[in-house]
Structure 1
Amino acid sequence: MPWGLVPGPFGLYLPNNAGTFLQPDRGRHESAHSRRSLMKKRAFLALTAVAAVGLTACGAPADPTGGGGSAEEVEPGYLAVADPDFAAGGELTVQVDYDVDEVGGLDPQAASAARGWMVEGLVYETLTTIDENLEVQPGLAASWEQPSDTEYVFQLDTDATFSNGRDMTVDDVAGSLQRLVDTPTTWTGQLGPISSVEATGDEEVTVTLAEPYTPFLAALANTPAAVLPMQEIDAGDIDVATEMLGTGPLVVAEHRQDEYWTFEPNEHHQAADELGFSGLRLEVVSDESTRVAALRDGSADLAMLNSVDSADALADASDVAVVNQQNTDFHYLIMNSIAGDEALQDEDVRFAINTAIDRDAINELVLGGTSQSTGVTPATLPDACVAEDLPSAQAAVEDAKAVIDDLGGLELNLVVYDSEAVLSDIAQVIQQNLAEIGVTVSIESYDYATYSSLVYADPSDFDLALSWFSGYADPSMVTTWWNPSLAGFTSVYNVGSDETSALIADAAQTPAGAERADLFSDLCASVDEESETVPLVLRPTEIGYRTDGLSPTLFADEGYGNVLRAITEYRAAE
């Protein structure tokens, strides 16, 4: 992973300076699960009482009895399947909460946020893709072989055509990957240790890795690894930072940053004749209540929602369906063991704080029961560790309290950014949890620029912080961020360890299956015991759509934040 990148809101990464890291002391903690369960129950009841009077000025968290959109699958792996008989041909209007990152322009290789991956994925396509089960499937690569554990030979889709009418060639494919290697971005590191990329036939490209890397095919499935029009780029005929030219189903007609996009069908795409809509208008609407209103009055066919409260508010809208798409993304808590309160340099103190956090309460009170606890490997992916088996889940809260009592109590600040209200809600649950063990937490909410200057600057200036990571489609991918020497951005607030870094590397080289699952179990336990950046719960997406205006296909699970992944199947009423 390239150095000099820090996580921003929405899973994106921004420039920063990386630092060095030291080695921490290690320790284990074991205690009775039954005593922890009793303490958690008491804490949960107390939190429920707090929720009844409202936890946040932005609105109370979800009813602890449950809420949010339906997660019921209409077919295995699908929340909705487009009806081929649905009257179609109208313009499709979609509302989202934020636009693509302006820093990297429109170059898909520079796309560092989930929204950029989704929007630019309407125009560009990748060698592989993921299906409703988060399994890798052919994309622009019609097939591939793996002669060895470091060699991949791709046979290309000979029908793929750029929107200017030019056929895709092996030079476009090989050149795109080589460009990503030669000009490192966030995604370069996720592709693994690429040694060479060669066009080895008229329809064949061979990629050789320096060492085995299990997530390679999954990493190829995201938009930053898209195939670019290298002939036009090399000739200087196009600047992909300002203009998009891809093989995907749509082409951009107009874009106003942070306002809207309009798209037209790519007449050269293989699905052009079957598209069930005449065009797409993608509106950027930051206010959630406005998106909810648009679903009610029909001015939006589909909208992304961040709160289960919004789903509940639409429960009486007869022509609106709200579904809950599970993501591999997850929320996490940072404990600043480098520049935070001196007590946080002690692993026992950090582990005590980790032990006191009630993930079930976060899920029920904030997310309406739509999420689940997770370790460093996203809980819904194959081979992932079981969060309930982690050391902190087995430890006793009273033992955690004893650690804090030995300090005479502890006062910490917890910083969040205000563009996602759910972070403040999670912070207030954590605040209540930690009060149970004698830690007084003051919550500080900032705009993202200020938050970033506190969390990612060198030196950093905070005790605790909340954010979230994209979880991707292979559990090894996100674990990279727990090695400060690879991630870079974490080195200003976390020490890391040789043990965790070695487990990350070993798991990435190990094929999927029981051996890798065992490594992930050890990795999750190591991260949990160190308690520097602590995974909390998965981050689901609420999606609302008008049943009288749209028949969409929606996956039940998503790894790259691409709600519109199956857009070629959408049917919009005239």
Structure 2
Amino acid sequence: MTVKKTVAGLALAGAVGLVLSACSSSDSPLTSGGGGAATGTINTELWYAPTVFDPSQASADADTDVARLGFDTLLRKGESSGYIGGLATSWKADSNTEYTFDIRDDATCSDGTAITPSVVAASLDYLATSKNSSAATNKISIFGSGTPTFTPDDDAGTLTVSLSEPYSELFAGLTNATSGIICPAGLDDPKGLAKGTVDGAWSGPYTLTGLKAGVSATYTLRDDYDAWPDWSDVTGTPAKTINITVSTDSNTSANLLTSGGIDVTRFYDSNAERFTSGKGYTYVTMPSSAYTLILNEHPGALFADDQDLRTAVAQAIDPDGFNSAGLDGLGTSLTSVDPSTVSCTIDGSSILPGVDVDAAEAKLSGTTIRLLAMSNWDPAIDYLAEALRAAGATVKVSTPDAAEWQTQMRTEPDKWDIALNATSVSNPLSETIATYVGPTSDQGGRNIGGADNTEGYQHLQAALAASDEDTQCSEFEAAQTSILTRADMVPLITDTHYVIARDGFATSVFSGYWDISSMRITS
């Protein structure tokens, strides 16, 4: 079976360009072949093409990956748990609404401008006040639902972040690539920033030096960059050049990796097994995305005020069948909004109704369901549609590209009844829970399905205001229990990603996410 790919971490938002094969263009950077020490080059792939280079507007996985190359964040996740410094050297919570950061004094922009607390404050304020819909979503993920204010002290080298509403996950939010610090030249030219054409916009290790829209991108290491995070396990030499092309399917990627056409790439299906048991390759793994069905409960929608109908959907879908169709059976069971590897996630097995097609048919028979999914994952989508049809429903499937999929799911609930969603497990748990409770996007929130779950939202707010971890966990757990009991969503599976590097190259996973900027040449 040829398994088509979907992007992980699409819960932020979606934006993607034309998807073409990595070897489809004769002047693609990869056609020259051969990376490594001799050329100082790493050739790698993303599953979709980046389409925006303003980190505040980064949405799909490809956007956030390249944002990590071009823009540094205040904090980063460490190899095991907790946080390490990025542009911040130390950080503390003065209260649940006020936080202080010491900003390193040796970081510069790509045009030589010093990255001072004022530069950091201006960038974060740009994110927090942006009218762009993706930026507004990212702002909530980073700063919570309230209004942040930023007070820089360049003499003291500090930045104070004050929040109008408690948000205990601010530190986690400030590790997100979407909080990448944009230099003054980029803020002066927002349109050029989004296109990646402002030479002085970059605060991170690489600058964008070549782009074929939808096909390939080339990043070049800054000669003056010396602000790498203090990773303990990352060894090797950063590439002087990173060539990125777009993969269409795992078979092509596997063949390119075998032939040396690419040096580092990622799999979630059985093609990974070609490289995990033999010599010549190293790999790291990570749980990447939690796949769920979101049920449309906006006023007047099919599943509004009908818990029995929502439960019937869960009874009609066998997660094991979805796993086999979409991931060659390599996914793992999901029983809540996030996998068990995420702290404070519950095991909802006893709450979920289980597969019962006869019971599902009693409710779904004669119902017309509009299923919204993203293109390029046909086997899994086909399974979902056929499972609902087997329970008596008429199913109409819509599979737009990632950008349109995200737009429809978040802002056009009149076009769908069930949406297949993928939530990055590296996102804060509060962000994932907020996908199913609280304000909708038109109200400044993240609630995609429009569920009017007051109880779940109250528990989420209590968790974000908590000053100790035990209370926070208890409230997060209660919010999940409410979501599952009401059947506001249907958990399916969590995929496991394998990031493979051929000999001479290496890459790393940090607290559950792959950091493309950690790719290294080792020989």
Q: Same fold (TM over 0.5)?
A: yes
On the 8 A contact 2:302/2:417 being kept in 1, the answer is no
On the 8 A contact 1:383/1:512 being kept in 2, the answer is no
Equivalent position of 1:227 in the other structure: 181
Match of 1:382 among 322, 343, 352: 343
Matched, 1:198 2:151: yes
Match of 1:95 among 29, 45, 57: 45
Identity %: 22
Match of 1:349 among 303, 309, 313: 309
On the 8 A contact 2:366/2:392 being kept in 1, the answer is yes
Q: Give 1:209's aligned amino acid.
A: L
Task: Tell me the distance in 1 between the aligned counterparts of 2:279 and 2:50.
Answer: 32
Q: 1:463 to 1:252 in 2, by over 3 A?
A: closer
Any residues of structure 2 matched to 1:205-220 within 5 Å, and which? 205-220=159-174
Match of 2:471 among 515, 527, 532: 515
Equivalent position of 1:121 in the other structure: 68
Equivalent position of 1:311 in the other structure: 272
Aligned length, in residue pairs = 477
Q: 1:427 to 1:322 in 2, by over 3 A?
A: farther
How many angstroms does 1:383 deviate by?
A: 1.4
Report the 3-state secondary structure (helix = DSSP H, G, I; strand = E; otherwise coil) of the residue aligned with 2:482: helix
Residues 425-462 of structure 1: CA deviation (Å, up to 9, x unaligned): 26516744884xx4446463533277568655645234
On the 8 A contact 2:307/2:486 being kept in 1, the answer is yes
How many angstroms does 1:356 deviate by?
A: 4.5
Match of 1:446 among 395, 399, 404: 399
Q: Give 2:138's aligned amino acid.
A: W
How many angstroms does 1:106 deviate by?
A: 1.8
Equivalent position of 2:10 in the other structure: 10
Matched, 1:503 2:450: no
Task: Tell me the distance in 1 between the aligned counterparts of 2:9 and 2:173.
Answer: 21
Greater RCO (Cα-Cα under 8 Å, separation 6 or more): 1
Q: 1:142 to 1:465 in 2, by over 3 A?
A: same
How many angstroms does 1:236 deviate by?
A: 6.1
Report the 3-state secondary structure (helix = DSSP H, G, I; strand = E; otherwise coil) of the residue aligned with 2:69: coil
Task: Tell me the distance in 1 between the aligned counterparts of 2:276 and 2:91.
Answer: 46
Equivalent position of 2:333 in the other structure: 372
Equivalent position of 2:53 in the other structure: 106
TM-score w.r.t. structure 1 length?
A: 0.73
Task: Tell me the distance in 1 between the aligned counterparts of 2:426 and 2:238.
Answer: 29
Residues 391-410 of structure 1: CA deviation (Å, up to 9, x unaligned): 11xx4655x744643x5834
Equivalent position of 1:564 in the other structure: 516
Any residues of structure 2 matched to 1:233-312 within 5 Å, and which? 233=186, 239-241=192-194, 242-243=197-198, 245-270=201-226, 275-305=237-267, 307-312=268-273
For structure 1, list consecutive stretches of 5 or more residues without a partner in the other structure.
Answer: 1-6, 16-85
Report the 3-state secondary structure (helix = DSSP H, G, I; strand = E; otherwise coil) of the residue aligned with 1:485: coil
Report the 3-state secondary structure (helix = DSSP H, G, I; strand = E; otherwise coil) of the residue aligned with 2:420: strand
Task: Tell me the distance in 2 between the aligned counterparts of 1:492 and 1:474.
Answer: 17
Residues 23-79 of structure 1: CA deviation (Å, up to 9, x unaligned): xxxxxxxxxxxxxxxxxxxxxxxxxxxxxxxxxxxxxxxxxxxxxxxxxxxxxxxxx
How many angstroms does 1:355 deviate by?
A: 4.0
On the 8 A contact 1:383/1:513 being kept in 2, the answer is no
Equivalent position of 2:140 in the other structure: 189
Equivalent position of 2:290 in the other structure: 330
Report the 3-state secondary structure (helix = DSSP H, G, I; strand = E; otherwise coil) of the residue aligned with 2:346: coil
Q: Give 2:213's aligned amino acid.
A: Q
Report the 3-state secondary structure (helix = DSSP H, G, I; strand = E; otherwise coil) of the residue aligned with 1:240: helix
Residues 506-541 of structure 1: CA deviation (Å, up to 9, x unaligned): 222224522222212221121112223333222332
How many angstroms does 1:353 deviate by?
A: 2.5
Task: Tell me the distance in 1 between the aligned counterparts of 2:359 and 2:331.
Answer: 33
On the 8 A contact 1:214/1:512 being kept in 2, the answer is no
Task: Tell me the distance in 1 between the aligned counterparts of 2:242 and 2:435.
Answer: 36
Matched, 1:467 2:427: no
How many angstroms does 1:346 deviate by?
A: 1.8
Q: 1:455 to 1:571 in 2, by over 3 A?
A: closer
On the 8 A contact 2:92/2:101 being kept in 1, the answer is yes
Q: 1:330 to 1:477 in 2, by over 3 A?
A: same
Task: Tell me the distance in 2 between the aligned counterparts of 1:320 and 1:252.
Answer: 28
Q: 1:477 to 1:408 in 2, by over 3 A?
A: closer
Q: Give 1:500's aligned amino acid.
A: G
How many angstroms does 1:414 deviate by?
A: 5.6
Residues 111-150 of structure 1: CA deviation (Å, up to 9, x unaligned): 1222111112112101111112352222111001222222
Report the 3-state secondary structure (helix = DSSP H, G, I; strand = E; otherwise coil) of the residue aligned with 2:333: coil
Q: Give 2:245's aligned amino acid.
A: E
On the 8 A contact 1:9/1:467 being kept in 2, the answer is no
Could you say what the CA RMSD is over the residues aligned between the two structures, in angstroms? 3.5
Residues 315-359 of structure 1: CA deviation (Å, up to 9, x unaligned): 6875345543222x3111122345898577521121132245333
Q: Give 1:294's aligned amino acid.
A: L
Q: Give 2:469's aligned amino acid.
A: G
On the 8 A contact 2:440/2:447 being kept in 1, the answer is no
On the 8 A contact 1:162/1:268 being kept in 2, the answer is no
How many angstroms does 1:308 deviate by?
A: 0.9
Task: Tell me the distance in 1 between the aligned counterparts of 2:123 and 2:309.
Answer: 47
On the 8 A contact 2:330/2:496 being kept in 1, the answer is no
Equivalent position of 2:435 in the other structure: 481
How many angstroms does 1:198 deviate by?
A: 0.5
Task: Tell me the distance in 1 between the aligned counterparts of 2:452 and 2:249.
Answer: 38
Q: Give 2:43's aligned amino acid.
A: T
Match of 1:151 among 66, 80, 98: 98
Task: Tell me the distance in 1 between the aligned counterparts of 2:466 and 2:211.
Answer: 43
Report the 3-state secondary structure (helix = DSSP H, G, I; strand = E; otherwise coil) of the residue aligned with 1:527: helix
Task: Tell me the distance in 2 between the aligned counterparts of 1:179 and 1:353.
Answer: 42
How many angstroms does 1:157 deviate by?
A: 0.9
How many angstroms does 1:206 deviate by?
A: 0.8
How many angstroms does 1:565 deviate by?
A: 4.3
How many angstroms does 1:218 deviate by?
A: 0.8
Task: Tell me the distance in 2 between the aligned counterparts of 1:181 and 1:294.
Answer: 41
Report the 3-state secondary structure (helix = DSSP H, G, I; strand = E; otherwise coil) of the residue aligned with 1:10: coil
Task: Tell me the distance in 2 between the aligned counterparts of 1:459 and 1:156.
Answer: 43
Matched, 1:132 2:70: no
Q: Decide which structure has the larger Cα Rg and report it.
A: 1
Q: Give 1:387's aligned amino acid.
A: G
Task: Tell me the distance in 2 between the aligned counterparts of 1:14 and 1:93.
Answer: 24
TM-score w.r.t. structure 2 length?
A: 0.80
Task: Tell me the distance in 2 between the aligned counterparts of 1:295 and 1:207.
Answer: 45
On the 8 A contact 2:127/2:139 being kept in 1, the answer is yes
Task: Tell me the distance in 1 between the aligned counterparts of 2:149 and 2:406.
Answer: 36
Q: 1:414 to 1:379 in 2, by over 3 A?
A: farther
Q: Give 1:524's aligned amino acid.
A: Q
Report the 3-state secondary structure (helix = DSSP H, G, I; strand = E; otherwise coil) of the residue aligned with 2:349: helix
Q: Give 2:307's aligned amino acid.
A: E
